[in-house]
Chain A
């Protein structure tokens, strides 16, 4: 069966659903494909977002599980740096229930007019006469989608990228190997996100506690696979031995790869735009990718929509998508890549020294930039490191 559309969006995560809604609300015929039988489950994600999420959807207690007032950051010897509520003057972000959040975004795409196909796996793509023929299987039944434009919203493992001839392969050191528990009956400071650094805790990355309620949290970590001698799950089991977790219980296990490479230079090809993790739009320092996924989905609908109107979805005409993404968030990602490359070189003793100096610092804003600025003020030698990275 051959199904004709203006645009096919492959992947109904936040990037794909926002893109699909954008196209649908512009009057285009759009098919939104999701290989799983349900949207948003499971996700490969710690579910933390900044308040920018409100640009895309009104906050709803149905999918806001945690409200975050600040962060507690621990160096290897457990020196604590607090970036508290006095800094941000209120909430700095949320921890989502993506099983509900993702589905809500997909529902909004449906409400705007997108056709949604669940349990529908794209298995290949071929360009014929200026159109893409996307082969797919819906519950095992062969389908073909035909459209001039395809949006690759299929995550870190993106096949759309490869089928379109875009080099999306992640070097091992740029794909954080992550494992996470959803934990309940946890006794802790649930208004804060917690971050733990150290070669023994999470080599090349960090461990986190992201609050999802008074006694519930995402407890996980990411390691850099070329630096870690053991598996992420082994580090997680060890992390879970900490006293803070006494009495708590695991109700979910999840794993995932998070790109920390910085953005793809050219996340587009003839008739193709890549969005979200597929385009490596996750933050190299924090690993956060939800906001940029949605921003890129929105921009893909803008640029893709203009290109469809003009009847020109060539790579040349789509290139402006790359420029807009770079302006909106990509340049910041490149800077954060430098910061990450510098930080992972720091030995535990250095991190402890820095934390000791920052323990009583007054932060002016809640951001990576502010933390780095204060770190450099305390440790001007860091500028040398950054120089090398540049």
Chain B
């Protein structure tokens, strides 16, 4: 499962747009669920490196 650095995250939601597994939810903050397969698409997308392996 990928990790989220809440201090870097700007909550833009772009990562949710690329997640093929519905594993990312942007509510009052961004969270990841167990559906995450570590495909890394969200990590590659993030403009500010808030997501990592």
Contact = CB atoms under 8 A, between A and B. Distances in A.
Interface of A: 35, 42, 44, 121, 123, 155-159, 162, 168-172, 175, 177-179, 225-226, 231-233, 253-259
9 contacts: A35-B27, A157-B17, A172-B45, A177-B46, A177-B47, A231-B48, A233-B49, A254-B12, A257-B12
6 nearest CB pairs, A to B = A257-B14, A157-B13, A157-B16, A232-B47, A156-B17, A255-B47
A158 B17 CA distance: 7
B36 interface: no
B31 interface: no
Contacts of A175: 14, 17-18, 45
B44 A257 contact: no
Interface string B28-53: 10000000000001001111110000
Task: Tell which of B12, B45, B49 has the most Cβ of chain A within 10 Å.
Answer: B12
A256 B13 CA distance: 7
Contacts of B5: none
Given A35-B27, A169-B19, A256 B14 contact: yes
Contacts of A169: 17-20
Classify chain B's interface size: 20 to 34
Contact of B10 (A171, A226, A231, A253): A253
Contacts of B12: 44, 254-257
Nearest to A280: B17
A231 B14 contact: no
Most buried by B among A171, A179, A225, A254: A225
Contacts of A231: 46-49
Of B13, B14, B19, B45, chain A has the most CB atoms within 10 Å of the CB of B14
Contacts of B19: 169
